[in-house]
Structure 1
Amino acid sequence: MNELCVWVSKKPSGTLSREQGEYLFNYSSLSASDAVSLTMPVRNKSYVSESLFPIFEMHLPEGYLLAVIKKHFSKLTATDDFGLLSLLSDKVVGRLSYAEEVTQENALSLDEILHSAEENLFSSLVERFALSSPVSGVQPKVLALLQDKATLQFSHYIVKSWGTDYPDLALNEWLCMKTLEQAGLDVPEFYLSDDEACFVMKRFDITEQGDYLGFEDFCVLQAKPRDEKYTGSYEQLAKGIAIFVSPKYRKKALYDYFKAMVLNQWLQNGDAHLKNFGVVYSSATDIRLAPIYDVVSTTAYIKEDIQALTLLGSKRWRGQKHLERFAIEHCQLTLKQAKEAMQQCFEAMNWLNDEVDALQDKVAKNTSKEALLRHFKALITRVLKDVE
């Protein structure tokens, strides 16, 4: 297959094709609301690129999931970018899709994931949902249709696990995301399974009415392929937020972005790259900063890890004075607002300190979990010394 029909909000929008080593996208609709991306407005002229356009590349799996799919399907079909997109096309669910009707897998219960006693649950989920998981990121994850028993509603959730190289990664992410939540940041709905084997996050691009919002990460918005997600700076990201987010939401978006940056520093999240920030929108005039997602303390596993992008010209972790400067010069905040935002983050770190203390009282000695909790205690101590 060298051609895919692209649908926007369940209406045909255009055709993606590959010809003589080039990718082409042609609109069949001339309605501005049918644009496939904020960076690809509707026009008569073809879009042409030597590589897959970032908005479509966003649906391709990476890392673990990519390896699983290639292992099972490389003998049956091409597994280059266009081949992978074609393979997954009838499972892509969202504002953007590649079929009039999307094939849905039979749903599981959310409780089955959170309270399962099955030892190899994640492996079973991969077998069941691998081809229904057009999600990026190198961490082992699948996109699963789950039912909430309390509301009886079906929703898509991203279920993450980890390998032996990253023990207790689900707990790590849960602690980090709870800290962001405590700081008042908008985060997706998320859970930690009882056995702490899985981190479960609800998709945030679906409204309560079941309508799909547009979502684009900053690789797409900066017209960069996924391989360039570690290029650029947090200053450029702040500028991108100011450009793309609608004026009525811009002030809050930059304030929240600054808080996320503070906590990424304090928690030492070295994976806050361009694909881990984005916008959601219902129209070209209603664009918001997406909820903050995929935050983990990477120095728990890579002791000398650095930032994903540069901040004030360096990838070193930055202290209070540098962060205040970043807030004023690039996030359009006053010094008073910057200090207020940092105080909210500081209170969230105090919550994390209490939570880690409670967990340490119950954890067995000389385990990976104890090591992770000691790591968080060291981060908290450093923050307490740095913040005035």
Structure 2
Amino acid sequence: MRLNVFVKGKLVAHLYRQADDYALRYTADATADDFVSLTMPVREEAWVWPRDLHPFFRQNLPEGFLLQVIREEFGPYLDGTDLSLLAVIGGSGIGRVTVTPEGGAPGGELEPLDLKSLLHEDITTGHFAELVRYYARAAISGAVPKFLAPERPATQPPVGKQTLRTSRHIIKGSDEQTPYLGFNEHYSMQVLARLGVARVARTTMSDDGRVLVVDRFDVDEMGKPAFGVEDACGLLGLPPHEKYRPSTEQVLNATKPYIAAANWRREAEQLGWLLITNYVVRNADCHAKNIALLYSDIDDVLYTPAYDIVTTEAYPRFANNPPGLSIDGRKTWAPGRTLERFFNTRLGIAPKRYREMVEALCDAAVSTGKDIAEAAKNETRWHWIAKQMLHAWNEGMASLRSAKPQVALRALTPVIEAAGFSDAETAGKSREVIGRSELLANPGKEH
């Protein structure tokens, strides 16, 4: 099997098996700007990766529930290799690179999605699973149910006018193991977004709090994929299931070399804001695939807007999980001076500035926490997830502010008490990893 590889619609390379390896060979007319990956610039010699697809192509392969659906729907087109999986879903992925079989891709054209209906009607787990199944041909990674879909225009265009139907959004849903995940992620993202100090992906929550619509940042104003996206896991040459293996230092070493020196100070803070936010909201699922680079060309490489920020500790079965990335060889929610030293020595952010960033995020967490409490007051079904999130944030702020957190550092305590929230439900001794839910994937498989 040979696949055609396109960059912004231009055929630039071919991808194929070569004995037990995989090879990417650029076409004779490919220019330096037509590079598929930052790690694979245009050259005459083929780029060969042993035994598996090149990490760049694996970064967006589906996982969990979505992978299960694709196997059910497109089984006849799959031969057990990632190459055949990429042939099915590679035409509608994230970023400026698309992949199609030389003989054409299976499946018909998708109907546009009615976002208004999705946001304003109650969407059950079963209904969302049906949507995932229908829009399954999308090269998007992750184990939580989500998909890409074109948006249905608000009004019908004039007769004879050609319309551009492209994927502008990532749609994410909840399940019984992670109830109201849309509510959780939307407000967790708002902690950083409300400060206006860093780029953050724009989110819209459905009325029932189960679904989250995330605006894609890899498309232009017309909704056409125009920017390259590469996560740190792929840049490190690791397969997706090893996304928790790297340290924060390794992630930095893999991404920093591609960022121009003139932009580094700004981008160091962009990364710094993301790291601190995950400690404040207790997001254990910030791994090497959730830190990525965005670029229009080789001279314009930046960190992507922050995305996938979720309070994982809100869910008891995941509450004992440590941070996804280690710092100085440790994974702990009480980093002490370790995190501050990383900011100072690795990011070039002075201790005073680090402390200012921590306090700014804690203030934002309190403001957002008040919004959450008010939302739960008006909608009782959000009461439980709101309570769980606020307790997690309270602990996150206190642990980040001091190695020995005191009651005075738990700034959300008055909000929690005023809302009448009870103590948080805590986890047992067993620990599970996000993405290991029976609904999402086979329980014995890593993600």
Write the distance in 2 (CA, Å) between the matches of 1:76 and 1:13: 24
CA displacement, residues 206-225 of structure 1 (integer Å, 9 cap, x when unaligned):
12254511111111211211
Checking the alignment, whether the CA contact within 8 Å between 1:73 and 1:79 is kept in structure 2 is: no
Shift of 1:150: 8.9
Shift of 1:8: 1.2
Call closer, same or farther: CA 1:150–1:347 in 2, change over 3 Å.
Answer: farther
- Tell whether 2:149 aligns with 1:144: yes
Once the two structures are overlaid, the 10-residue window that deviates more, 201-210 or 268-277, is 201-210
Shift of 1:265: 0.8
Alignment partner of 2:345 out of 309, 329, 332: 329
Q: Secondary structure, in 3 states, of the residue corresponding to 2:135?
A: helix
- Tell whether 2:386 aligns with 1:381: no
Call closer, same or farther: CA 1:150–1:351 in 2, change over 3 Å.
Answer: farther
Write the distance in 1 (CA, Å) between the matches of 2:141 and 2:77: 22
Q: TM-score, normalised by structure 1?
A: 0.91
Counterpart amino acid of residue 63 in structure 1: G
Checking the alignment, whether the CA contact within 8 Å between 2:91 and 2:139 is kept in structure 1 is: no
Per the alignment, residue 351 of structure 1 pairs with 367
Per the alignment, residue 2 of structure 2 pairs with 3
Once the two structures are overlaid, the 10-residue window that deviates more, 333-342 or 35-44, is 333-342
CA displacement, residues 2-38 of structure 1 (integer Å, 9 cap, x when unaligned):
1101111211111100132211111114411111100
Shift of 1:320: 5.6
Per the alignment, residue 19 of structure 2 pairs with 20
1:72-83 paired onto structure 2 within 5 Å: 72-83=73-84
Write the distance in 2 (CA, Å) between the matches of 1:239 and 1:98: 29
Per the alignment, residue 282 of structure 1 pairs with 296
Call closer, same or farther: CA 1:8–1:183 in 2, change over 3 Å.
Answer: same
Q: Identical aligned pairs, as a percentage?
A: 28
- Tell whether 2:288 aligns with 1:304: no
Poorly superposed stretches of 4+, deviation over 4 Å = 99-104, 117-120, 150-155
Checking the alignment, whether the CA contact within 8 Å between 1:216 and 1:279 is kept in structure 2 is: yes
- Tell whether 2:56 aligns with 1:44: no
Per the alignment, residue 182 of structure 1 pairs with 194
Checking the alignment, whether the CA contact within 8 Å between 2:129 and 2:145 is kept in structure 1 is: no
Shift of 1:379: 2.6
Alignment partner of 2:115 out of 88, 107, 110: 110
Shift of 1:307: 1.2
- Superposition RMSD on alpha carbons, in Å? 2.4
Write the distance in 2 (CA, Å) between the matches of 1:79 and 1:87: 12
Checking the alignment, whether the CA contact within 8 Å between 1:159 and 1:201 is kept in structure 2 is: yes
Counterpart amino acid of residue 311 in structure 1: I
1:215-364 paired onto structure 2 within 5 Å: 215-301=229-315, 302-319=318-335, 321-364=337-380
Checking the alignment, whether the CA contact within 8 Å between 1:238 and 1:254 is kept in structure 2 is: no
Checking the alignment, whether the CA contact within 8 Å between 1:160 and 1:170 is kept in structure 2 is: yes
CA displacement, residues 267-297 of structure 1 (integer Å, 9 cap, x when unaligned):
1111111111111111100111101111111
Shift of 1:346: 1.7
Checking the alignment, whether the CA contact within 8 Å between 1:110 and 1:148 is kept in structure 2 is: no
Counterpart amino acid of residue 172 in structure 1: N
Checking the alignment, whether the CA contact within 8 Å between 2:94 and 2:225 is kept in structure 1 is: no
Alignment partner of 2:183 out of 161, 171, 174: 171
Checking the alignment, whether the CA contact within 8 Å between 1:111 and 1:148 is kept in structure 2 is: no
Q: TM-score, normalised by structure 2?
A: 0.80
Once the two structures are overlaid, the 10-residue window that deviates more, 324-333 or 209-218, is 209-218
CA displacement, residues 133-153 of structure 1 (integer Å, 9 cap, x when unaligned):
110011111111114639998
Call closer, same or farther: CA 1:4–1:384 in 2, change over 3 Å.
Answer: closer
Per the alignment, residue 69 of structure 1 pairs with 70
Call closer, same or farther: CA 1:24–1:330 in 2, change over 3 Å.
Answer: same
CA displacement, residues 114-169 of structure 1 (integer Å, 9 cap, x when unaligned):
112464541332232112x1100111111111146399985421111122111121
Write the distance in 2 (CA, Å) between the matches of 1:323 and 1:46: 41
Shift of 1:361: 2.2
Per the alignment, residue 61 of structure 2 pairs with 60
Per the alignment, residue 126 of structure 1 pairs with 132
Counterpart amino acid of residue 353 in structure 1: G
Counterpart amino acid of residue 257 in structure 2: I
Per the alignment, residue 206 of structure 1 pairs with 219
Counterpart amino acid of residue 330 in structure 2: S
Q: Secondary structure, in 3 states, of the residue corresponding to 1:85?
A: helix
